[in-house]
Amino acid sequence: MKDKTVLVTGANSGVGLATTVELARRGAKVVMVCRSAERGEAALREALQHGGPGKVELMQCDLGSLGSIREFARSFQARHEVLDVLINNAGVFSLKRQATRDGFESQLGVNHLGHFLLTNLLLEQVKRAPQGRIINVSSGAHKVGSIHWDDPHLTRKYGAWKGYAQSKLANILFTKALAERLRGTAVTANSLHPGAVGTQLGKDRETGFGGAILALLKPFFLTPAQGAETSVYLAASEDVTRVSGEYFYKKKIVSVSKKANDRGLAERLWSWSEKEVGLA
């Protein structure tokens, strides 16, 4: 990973921060993408303290705002001509329905649509890499997920797990459709399940609600460093140089749900997503 440029979204805590630290230890130049400047600065200090020989840079972006994503992409392109690895790690879990700045249901908006736009905007930088890699952090929750075409933003009947599972299914469908589009290039796209990690995912970002429950359950979870192992493997290992369109768990290819393997569903989601974020 020496001198390779890596971008990690949601890098201020948990798996994202652990991924940043490990890749920096291996010599990568890591761009930490964080929504909060304050939390980002604290995470940057920690990454610089533990990151070893690599370089670490902080950039701010709100994946719940299409405007912020476009502004970030322009800033990144001005600083970096090449992006070797893009790790779409950021994620939200909302106990009550919330909306992004653009009116999307927050889980679908941040977990899928935000990363969909970001990836497409930075695709040329990834293609300039000798062997570009795009890594989407999904979840085993995709197996109970469906794309609710009649109401994808869940305005009528919201459920936290319903929304989260939909967004995680979308991550895999996006990965598979992207891998098809990248066939014949030097860029790969893969997704993964990090495992049950003790992070701040279920904690309300504004009120802190849910923090006590997470603290109580922490002994039963993987550590962020353990959760980051598959992301780091997909970013760094030569074993997956030519592997694309797959879903990994514990650094191995594993099966996905029938819906996640539906090519027609993946193409439908791609077309819908293009319209939602203004790329069509």
Q: Distance between CA 146 and CA 204 in Å, rounded?
A: 24
Q: Work out the average pLDDT over 267-277.
A: 98
pLDDT higher than 50, residue 59: yes
CATH number of the domain residue 247 falls in: 3.40.50.720
pLDDT digits (tens, 9 = 90+) for 23-54: 999 999 999 999 999 999 999 999 998 877 77
Considering the candidates 164, 233, 247, 249, report the single residue annotated as catalytic. 164
Structural domain tally of the chain? 1
A 10 A CB-CB count for 239 gives 10
> What per-residue confidence (pLDDT) applies to 204?
53
Nearby residues of 252 by Cβ (< 8 Å), 6 or more positions away: none
Residue ranges making up the domain that contains 248: 5-277
pLDDT digits (tens, 9 = 90+) for 76-112: 999 999 999 999 999 999 999 999 999 999 999 999 9
pLDDT higher than 70, residue 208: no
Percent of the chain with pLDDT over 90: 86
> What per-residue confidence (pLDDT) applies to 51?
74
Q: At 196, is the pLDDT very low, low, confident or very high (cuts 50, 70, 90)?
A: confident
> What per-residue confidence (pLDDT) applies to 263?
97
Active site residue 164: yes
Kindly report whether the global pTM for this prediction surpasses the value 0.85.
yes
Q: Which of 7, 188, 15 is nearest to 91 (CA)?
A: 15
